[in-house]
Structure 1
Amino acid sequence: MSGQSITDRITAAQHSMTGSAISKAVCKATTHEVSGPKRKHLDYLIHCTSEMNVNIPQMADTLFERTANSSWVVVFKALITTHHLMMYGNERFIQYLASRNTLFNLNNFLDKGALQGYDMSTFIRRYSRYLNEKALSYRLVAVDFTKMKRGVDGVMRTMNTEKLLKTLPIIQNQLDALLDFQANPNELTNGVINAAFMLLFKDSIRLFAAYNEGVINLLEKYFDMKKNQCKDALDIYKRFLLRMTKLSEFLKVAEQVGIDQGDIPDLTQAPSSLLEALEQHLASLEGRKIKEFSAASRYERLPNIPN
């Protein structure tokens, strides 16, 4: 299947007749053509998110309507277009998505009518869950983790302990949803899934940067925390180490399909002595028997922060 279908052309023509330029652009971005949404349509929709006379809920509803299509191509491209607008559109677009009780309900989506329908439907279900989680994260913290100010004076590095302990699990949940996409190079077989994977790759780099900076801040505060805070912080750090392994596997796929390696962060693991020092400190607060550790072992080198 290549090119726009007759249905695509009729739908676009109907929007032209009714004067709905946004609906027409959404339709053209989400055709049955097995390739990623065209740049000119995405750019137009991005521009529209900043126009005050544009009805954002109506724009979002038009995209949601496209996900009710039976074709995996149309549904996948509607999700990609939505993700693109969340990343590059005016913030009021993601603000609106975050304000909704539900976004995509595609857990049971299955296209039985196309050659690649079964395989691509699996990725559509996973991708939609990630976009739901991305919107939920914004709803919980009123910020997009992938757009946070970074560095020593950035949001995650300057956050207080109490807020940090609440925020890091939210980042963890979003990263988990992203990594659950679980595509291997042999499954990235067409321009549609490749377009989705590229957006996920970009989010993974920025999301990990915020996550990593938050963990660094957490470790810097760890030895001054109360016992219950230390317990939560240690659990967060252990989960962080597991996610570093999963992210490394995700990034290997990106490398294998030719994505610029210059964007891939250094995922050097912190030495085991750091984890041991954290565990020993918590044990001492709980009155359990501990080994002797030097003060220097508390501050072993952490994983590098990606630029």
Structure 2
Amino acid sequence: MSGQSITDRIAAAQHSMTGSAISKAVCKATTHEVSGPKKKHLDYLIHCTNELNVSVPHLADTLFERTANNSWVVVFKALITTHHLMMYGNERLIQYLASRNTLFNLNNFLDKGALQGYDMSTFIRRYSRYLNEKAMSYRLVAVDFTKMKRGVDGVMRTMNVEKLIKTLPIIQNQLDALLDFQANSNELTNGVINSAFMLLFKDSIRLFAAYNEGVINMLEKYFDMKKNQCKDALEIYKTFLNRMTKLSEFLKVAEQVGIDQGDIPDLTQAPSSLLEALEQHLASLEGRKIKELSTRNCAYPDLNGSLLNRFEMCTSWVING
């Protein structure tokens, strides 16, 4: 189906008659046309989030209403519009979304009556779970990980040990939900899912940057931690290594669909001797026998020297925008 349907035109006309400019813009952003939401409608809705006389709950409810539609195109575009506003709109929108007890309830969504309906419904269910997790992360820490200040004096690099150990698993959960989208290049077959994938790609880069900086901070503090903190930190680091592998697979898809290689970080596996050093230190705290490191000259203090430097080189990159 191409172009706006008769239903789309009627709905837009009704909103024009009732004077609801927000509802009309949401309707136009979420038509049955198999392409991403138009920029002019997204820009207008972003503008609305910055206007104090605009009701954010009304805007959110209008988007939620569109996800009750039977068409995968309309529902997908409503999720994309919501995600776009979470990324580029005023923070009070994500604050409101995070305050709700429920967000998107699309775990059973299935469009049986349209071309690509079955395939796209699968991605709608996964995408909605990610947006739910993104809002939940904000609810737990009152900050959007994709927008926080980065760098040596950034939020994650200056966080204390106790808060790091609580915050890093929240980032892990959000990244897990994002990577669970699991689209390969052959499944990115239309402008709707491609728009969603681009937003996920942008989130993945910024989210992993915050994750990475938190892990660097944690490693710098590791040898000064208490035994239980070391145990938690070691598990967080092992999970981090696994996420690096999954993110690399996600980024390969981004490369295959034509995203500029300059925008895609090159992730290199961290040295195995670093994990060994962490395990050896925890073993010593627990009074267990310490086996020799496979790299003999990698003593514990080296974590703050060449080993950590190598880790940062493997996982750090500059993100613009």
TM-score, normalization by structure 2: 0.92
CA contact (8 A) 1:133 1:173 kept: yes
Superimposed CA distance per residue, residues 218-248 of structure 1 (whole angstroms, 9 cap, x where no aligned partner): 0000010000000000000000000000000
Q: 1:296 to 1:44 in 2, by over 3 A?
A: closer
**Closer, same or farther in 2 for the Cα pair 1:250/1:295, shift >3 Å?**
closer
Distance in 1 separating the partners of 2:307 and 2:68:
59
State the identity as a percent: 92
What is the CA distance between 1:267 and its match in structure 2?
1.2
1:138-170 C-alpha deviation (Å, 9 max, x unpaired)? 000000000010000000000000000000000
Q: Partners in 2 of 1:181 and 1:295 — Cα distance?
A: 33
Q: Take 1:221 and 1:262, find their aligned partners in 2: how far apart are those partners? A: 32
Shift of 1:291: 2.8
Question: How far did 1:115 drift?
Answer: 1.4
C-alpha separation in 2, matches of 1:71 and 1:43: 24
Structure 2: segments with no counterpart, 5+ residues: 293-305, 313-318
Q: Give the TM-score normalised by structure 1.
A: 0.96
**Runs of 4 or more consecutive aligned structure 1 residues displaced over 2 Å after TM superposition:** 294-300
1:266·1:306 contact (CA, 8 Å) conserved in 2? no
Moved more, 256-265 or 182-191: 256-265
Contact 1:278 1:298 in 2 (8 A): no
The secondary structure found in structure 2 opposite 1:145 is: coil
Task: Name the CA distance, whole Å, in 2 between partners of 1:203 and 1:75.
Answer: 20
Query: Residue 11 of structure 1 contacts residue 27 of structure 1 at CA under 8 Å; is this kept in 2?
Result: yes
1:24-44 deviation line (CA, Å, top 9, x unaligned): 000000000000000000000
1:136 aligns to 2:150 (yes or no): no
| TM-superposed deviation, 1:266 | 2.7
Asked if the contact 2:182–2:250 (Cα under 8 Å) also holds between the matched residues in 1, the reply is yes
SS of the equivalent of 1:287 reads coil
Deviation readout 1:36-85 (Å, 9 max, x if unpaired): 00000000000000000000000000000000000000000000000000
Pair 295,122 (structure 1): closer, same or farther in 2 beyond 3 Å: closer
SS at match of 1:155: coil
- Output the CA distance in 1 between the equivalents of 2:180 and 2:89: 25
The aligned runs of 1:88-103 (5 Å cut-off) are 88-103=88-103
Counterpart Cα distance in 1 of 2:260 and 2:97: 31
In 1, the alpha carbon distance for the partners of 2:204 and 2:309 equals: 30
Cα separation, partners in 2 of 1:269 and 1:296, compared to 1, 3 Å: closer
CA distance, structure 1, for counterparts of residue 205 and residue 278 of structure 2: 27
Label 1:35 to 1:289 Cα distance change in 2 as closer, same or farther (>3 A): same
Q: Is the 8 A contact 2:47 2:89 kept in 1?
A: yes
How far did residue 260 of structure 1 move? 1.3
- Deviations 1:238-267 (CA, angstroms, capped at 9, x unpaired): 000000000000000000000111121231
CA contact (8 A) 1:277 1:298 kept: no
The one-character-per-residue Cα deviations of 1:95-120 (angstroms, maximum 9, x if unpaired) are 00000000000000000000100000
**Equivalent residue, structure 2, for 1:281:** 281
Residues matched between the structures, number: 302
Contact 1:205 1:306 (C-alpha < 8 Å) held by counterparts: no
The Cα of 1:298 is off from its aligned counterpart by: 11
